[in-house]
Every structure is written in structure tokens, then in C-alpha cells.
Amino acid sequence: MSIHLHIDRLVLEGLPLSPTDGPLLQAALESELTRLMGDGLSPELAEGAAVPRLKAKGIEVAPSDGPEAIGRKIAGSVYGGLGDGRA
């Protein structure tokens, strides 16, 4: 199975991140999404359905959350928005 995911825009407002945190957040998001999708997809997506646009739910961020934790939370929100319902 091959999955193609393109995130055109990711809006991060009011988060405790510095400009240098971007690569760490991106790596954590990609890693967690890969892990979650490897665990399974909804039947529709597993059969090849496309999701042209996804609006993921917001996430709760603690003041102590670093870029890795925030990236994992974003991945969970995106995965949940794909219709699996486990995130």
C-alpha cells in the first residue's frame, strides 16, 4: 500500500515555539503520522479513497510541551480527521 499525504499549510498560532523548532516539530509529526497510519486506516481509505481537504480538530498544548510533543499531538489530530476515530 502506498499513501501520499501533502500538508499544504499548518497554522500554529500562540504556541511556545521558536523559529528553530520547526524541523523538530515536522520530524515528530511525520514520524507519528507514519506510525499511526501503519496501525491502520478507515476501510474507505484502505480501499484507496482520496481526502482532498481535511480540517483537523484543535489540540491542547501545555506550556511544557516541546516541538516533539506538539508534533505528535498534531499528527493525532490529522489522523483522527481521516475518519479512523481512534486518535
Quote the percentage of the chain above a pLDDT of 70: 93
Q: Is residue 7 part of a domain?
A: no
Q: Is residue 37 part of a domain?
A: yes
Reduce the DSSP state of residue 86 to 3 states and report it.
coil
Q: 1 pLDDT band (50/70/90 cuts)?
A: low
Tell me the DSSP string of 21-79. GHHHHHHHHHHHHHHHHHH---HHHHTT---S---PPP----TT--HHHHHHHHHHHHH
Q: Is residue 24 part of a domain?
A: yes
Q: Is residue 72 part of a domain?
A: yes
What would the pLDDT profile of 34-76 be if each residue is shown by its tens digit? 999 888 877 777 777 777 788 888 899 998 999 999 999 999 9
Q: Is residue 13 part of a domain?
A: no
The rounded distance, in Å, linking the Cα atoms of 40 and 62 is: 28
- pTM equals 0.81
- Expressed as residue numbers, the domain containing 77 is 19-49+61-81
Total number of domains in the chain: 1
- What pLDDT was estimated at residue 86? 40
The rounded distance, in Å, linking the Cα atoms of 76 and 54 is: 13
Q: How many residues does the chain have?
A: 87
